[in-house]
Structure 1
Amino acid sequence: MGRSAHACTLDEWLARLEAAHPVSIDLGLDRVVAVARRMALLDRPLAGGVITVAGTNGKGSTVALLDALARSHGLTTATYTSPHLLRYNERLRLNGREADDATLIAGFEAVETARLDGEPVSLTYFEAGTLGALWVMAQCPPDLAILEVGLGGRLDAVNVIDADVAVITTVAHDHAAYLGDDIEGIGREKAGILRAGRPAVLGSSTLPASVHDAVRERGAVPFALGEQYRRSECGAAGWRWTGMGARGEPLEVDGLPDPGLPLDNAATALQALAQAKGELDAQACRQALGRVTLPGRLQWLGQWCLDVGHNPHAASYVAERLAARPCSGRTWVLLGMLADKDADGVIAGLAPLADAWVTVSLEGERARSAADLAERIVERGGRVAYQAATPVAGGAWLAERLAAEDRVLVCGSFFTVAAILAWKRAGTAPP
C-alpha cells in the first residue's frame, strides 16, 4: 500500500480489506475461528450476555429494538450490524453511539496483527470487520452484546461467538446464490446459531419446519411467537405483550406504543431481553419503544418514504404498511436493485401500491440496470415514467414533478436508499 497498515485512515483500511480476499463472500468458519483464537476472543465471555439475531428480514429492526430496550433498563450495550447506509461506523454502536474512526481502526489493527501471527490467514471484508468489532467489545465488555448475522447463520463469522439467546426473525428467499432456493435448507442455515440449553426466540409464526426441527435436535429452549409469547392490539391504549421470564414465569406489559417498526419484531425483542435479563420493567419498555429509530426502515422524509427492503417478503410488508396509510395523490415507487435479488418478486409485491415507477441503475459488479427493471415492470402491466442512470438522477427527476398530495417509496436496495438519504440530507432536494 505504500504506507504502514498502522498509519491507515479508516477509509484506507476499508479499501485494504475489500481488496484483501479473492471473493467478497466466502462462507465458512475455519479462517475466522483461527484468527479469533489468536486474538483470545474465545477465551472468555464477550459480554455479560450475548444475543445473536439471524433471519431474512427484520434483523436490523430487532437489533435496534433490543438495544433501545436494554439501555432503557440501564444496561450497557454494544451492537454489531451490517450493512451500513452512509458510514461504516454505523455497524458498531457502543451504548447507542456509533464507534469513532480511531476505535474501528484499533480493531482492524488487532485483526491484522493476529492474522499475520504465524501462517497468514486470508479474511473477507466482513470477516475482518466482524472480528474487529468483537475485539472492541472485548476491551470493555458491555452488559449486553447484540450481534446481527450477516448471511445465513451456521457459517457466518458472527457465529464464532456462542449466543446466550438466539433469535430467528423470519425465513424467506434471499441470497439464493449462497443459501439456495430451498426454504427448509435456508431455515437450517439460520438455525445454526442455536446452542444447546439456551433460549431460541422464534420471531415468526410461519418459520419452516427445519427451524423447529433444529431447536429440538440442538436441545435449545424454544420461545415461539404465538405460543410462549404473543402480542395483541389494544386500540388507542397501545398494544400488549405477554411472554415468559428466564425462570418460566409469565410476564405482561401493556400500553406499549407503536415503535414504527414491525410489531412482531418488537414482541420478539421483548421476549429475547426477558430471557437475557430475567425481568422487564413496564415503564422502561414503553419509553424505549416510544423513542427507537432506525434509518432506512419505513423512514419518512416529508413525502418520501425510504425502506431498504429488497426481497418479496419485505416488499409485501412495506406495501401493506403504506396501503394502510391513505394518500390522496399518486404513489410513486423509485426502485433500484442488485442483479442477484428477486426483482420479479419485489415488483409483484409492490405493484398493488404503485401508480407509477421510476427505475434507477446501480453501480458495481452486482448492478442491475434501470432498463432491466423497467422491462419487468412493463411486462406486469405497470407504468414506468422514467429510467435514470443513478438513484439521485431518478430522485431529482421525480422531485420536479411531485405534486403536494403525492408520495414516493424509495426501495429495492441499501444502495438505493443510501444514495437518496445522502442526497436529501445534503439539502439538494426540495423539502
Structure 2
Amino acid sequence: MRDRPGDGSEQRGAHLAAEDSRDEQARSFEEGGLLVADGFAPHDADRWFESLLDTELDPISRESFEPSIVPVQMVLDCLGDPQKNYAAIHVAGTNGKGSVVAVASAILDAAGCSTGSFTSPDLGSVRERIKVYLNEIAKDEFDAELSAVATLVDEFSLPKPSKFEALVATALSIFSNNGVEVAVVEVGMGGELDATNVLDARVVVCTNIGTDHMAQLGGSREGIAKSKSGIVHGQSKVILGDVDESYVEFFTKRTDEKVIRLGSEIKIESDLLAVGGRQISFSTPRSRFEDIFAPLSGSFQSKNIALATAAAEEYLERGIPSDLLQSVLLDLKIPGRMEIVGHNPLCILDVAHNFEAASELGKSLRDGFGYETGWVVLYAATHKRDPRKFLEALGPSSIDRLISVDLGLKIQVDPYDVATAASSLGILSTVAGDPGSALIAAREKLVEGQLVLSTGSHYLVGGIRRLLLGFD
C-alpha cells in the first residue's frame, strides 16, 4: 500500500487490525482474489450498499465526509490488489471527463486492447459507470463483486466506505476479473484524495480547471489545480487541456515523464460545423488528423477528442491511424452530452451543471443549431450551485420559458429559488413537481421553431431521458 497525504495513523491501525483479523479468520484465499465461503448474498449486499454514506446525494454526508484513498485501498489489499493487474489512464478536470473517457476507451478497444472504464455520476443506474469491452457490466457480475466487497468490509471490520468508494473498489476488481489490459477511469472529485487515486496511472489527463467543489478542494482555483495534479505519479505521462500557465507546474513537478499540452503539442487546426456533427482537424505529438467527422454536437468536443486521442496514443506509444479514429467516432454515442432525443420539436439533453459548461452549451445551441431564441429549458441545480450564474452563462435572451424541476433530492437547490433567479433575469418561469410534469408543461405551450433543452443536473437529464426513450 502506498503512503499518501491524508493517511492517518488511526486508519493505518485499522489496516493492521484487518491484517491480523485476516490471519485469524478461517477463510480461503487464492492468488489474485478471495474465495468467499460465507459472504453477503446479493440482496444483502444491496441493503449494505444502501446503508453507506451517499456523498453524491446526501448533503449532510457530503459536508461531513473526509476524502481519503484508505478505505478503498484496504479493500483492494484484501482482494490481492487487483488494480495492479492492468494499466490505467486517469482522467481529471472540471468538465469533459466523461467524454474523454468514452473516446479514449473506444480508441483503445478498436486498437485491440481489452479495456475497462469507470465514470461518474450516472444517468439512472450505478452499473452504467462500469464498462468492460465498452459494455455496461451485467447485473449478476456487479452484484457478485459488490457482495465480495461487502463481505470483506464486514468480516475484517474495515472502515465502512461511502457508496462511491464501494463502487470504485467493485469496478477495479471487476476489471481484473475480466482480464482488462487498461482501465480508463474518471476522477470523482478533485484528485489527490479521491478514491480512484489508488491507481498508479501510466497516463494522466486533466481536461480543465474550473471552480466546481471549491469548498472541498482548498477554497481557490489554485487549490483545485493542486488537488487535480495529485493523480500524477512519478512515471505518469501527463496530458493537459485548458489549464492556466500558472498551474502547469503543479503537474510537471510530479512526473519524470513528458507533459503534453493542448495548444502546444496538441493543436486544433480547424473545427467546423457539419451536418450532424463537427468536422475537425488536429495534431498530436504522434499523428495528424485531417477532416475527421465527429457526430457529436458542441464545439467543445473537438478538444475532448484531441485529448482522448493523445492519451490513447501515449498509452500505446504509437500513433493512431486516421481511419481507425474515424471509425471509432462514427460508432460513438455519449448519452446526455448534447444528445438529441427528439425532433419536432428538437429535444436536447445535456448534463452541463456549472457556468463554464453552460457557456459552451449556449454557444453550441446558437452557433451549431442556429437557435438564437425560442428555448424552453427544463432545469434543476444541485450542490449549492448558483442558478443565476448558470443561466447568465447559458444566455437569458435565448430562453423563452424556464421550467424549474423538483427532483425530490436533498442536494437540490430549491426549485422556487431557481424560478426566482430566472425571473430576475427576465425569464418567464414556472415550477414542476417532477420530470414527467415538466415535460407535460413544456409541451403544452410549444410553438413552431422552439426547442426543448433539459440541463443542469445528471439526475434531471437521466430522468427526462428515461421518460423520452423508455429506458429502465
Q: What is the TM-score with the length of structure 2 in the denominator?
A: 0.82
Report the Cα distance in structure 2 between the residues aligned to 1:86 and 1:342, rounded to whole angstroms.
24
Once the two structures are superposed, what CA deviation does each residue of 1:316-366 show, in whole Å capped at 9, x if it has no partner? 010010011113871111111114223222111112432221112222221
Report the Cα distance in structure 1 between the residues aligned to 2:124 and 2:250, rounded to whole angstroms.
39
Q: Secondary structure at the match of 1:355?
A: strand
Amino acid at match of 1:377: A
Amino acid at match of 2:289: V
Contact 1:163 1:195 in 2 (8 A): yes
Report the Cα distance in structure 2 between the residues aligned to 1:181 and 1:354, rounded to whole angstroms.
32
Contact 1:41 1:134 in 2 (8 A): no
Shift of 1:39: 1.6
Provide the residue aligned with 2:208 in structure 1.
170
Provide the residue aligned with 1:8 in structure 2.
43
Contact 1:310 1:413 in 2 (8 A): yes
Provide the residue aligned with 2:71 in structure 1.
31
Q: Secondary structure at the match of 2:411?
A: coil
Provide the residue aligned with 2:85 in structure 1.
46
Once the two structures are superposed, what CA deviation does each residue of 1:3-39 show, in whole Å capped at 9, x if it has no partner? 9732417754542445799935431122222222122
Provide the residue aligned with 2:341 in structure 1.
301
Contact 1:171 1:208 in 2 (8 A): no
Q: Among 291, 295, 313, which residue is 1:255 paired with? A: 291
Aligned residues: percent identity?
Answer: 26
Provide the residue aligned with 2:364 in structure 1.
321
Q: Secondary structure at the match of 2:124?
A: coil
Shift of 1:214: 3.0
Contact 1:362 1:368 in 2 (8 A): no
Provide the residue aligned with 2:461 in structure 1.
417
CA separation of 1:195 and 1:220: change in aligned 2, threshold 3 A:
farther
Within-5 A mapping of 1:51-62: 51-62=89-100
CA separation of 1:318 and 1:9: change in aligned 2, threshold 3 A:
farther
Task: Indicate yes or no: 2:284 matched with 1:240.
Answer: no
Q: Among 227, 252, 256, which residue is 1:215 paired with? A: 252
Listed as ranges, the gaps of 5+ residues in structure 1 are 246-250
CA separation of 1:371 and 1:150: change in aligned 2, threshold 3 A:
same
Q: Secondary structure at the match of 1:398?
A: helix
Within-5 A mapping of 1:46-195: 46-47=85-86, 49-195=87-233
Task: Indicate yes or no: 2:385 matched with 1:341.
Answer: yes
Q: How many residues align?
A: 416
Q: What is the TM-score with the length of structure 1 in the denominator?
A: 0.90
CA separation of 1:383 and 1:275: change in aligned 2, threshold 3 A:
same
Provide the residue aligned with 2:241 in structure 1.
203
Q: Secondary structure at the match of 2:253?
A: helix
Report the Cα distance in structure 2 between the residues aligned to 1:419 and 1:214, rounded to whole angstroms.
38
CA separation of 1:213 and 1:26: change in aligned 2, threshold 3 A:
closer
Contact 1:329 1:403 in 2 (8 A): no
Shift of 1:96: 1.1
Amino acid at match of 1:276: Y
Shift of 1:75: 1.9
Report the Cα distance in structure 2 between the residues aligned to 1:336 and 1:234, rounded to whole angstroms.
31
Listed as ranges, the gaps of 5+ residues in structure 2 are 1-37
Shift of 1:256: 1.1
Shift of 1:375: 0.9
Provide the residue aligned with 1:248 in structure 2.
none
Contact 1:362 1:369 in 2 (8 A): no
Q: Secondary structure at the match of 1:244?
A: coil
CA separation of 1:195 and 1:120: change in aligned 2, threshold 3 A:
closer
Q: Secondary structure at the match of 2:265?
A: coil
Q: Among 376, 393, 396, which residue is 2:437 paired with? A: 393
Deviates more, 1:207-216 or 1:305-314: 207-216
Q: Among 447, 450, 453, which residue is 1:403 paired with? A: 447
Report the Cα distance in structure 2 between the residues aligned to 1:317 and 1:46, rounded to whole angstroms.
38
Report the Cα distance in structure 2 between the residues aligned to 1:300 and 1:118, rounded to whole angstroms.
48
Shift of 1:163: 0.5
Contact 2:120 2:129 in 1 (8 A): yes
Report the Cα distance in structure 1 between the residues aligned to 2:329 and 2:374, rounded to whole angstroms.
31
Report the Cα distance in structure 1 between the residues aligned to 2:466 and 2:45, rounded to whole angstroms.
20
Q: Secondary structure at the match of 1:195?
A: coil
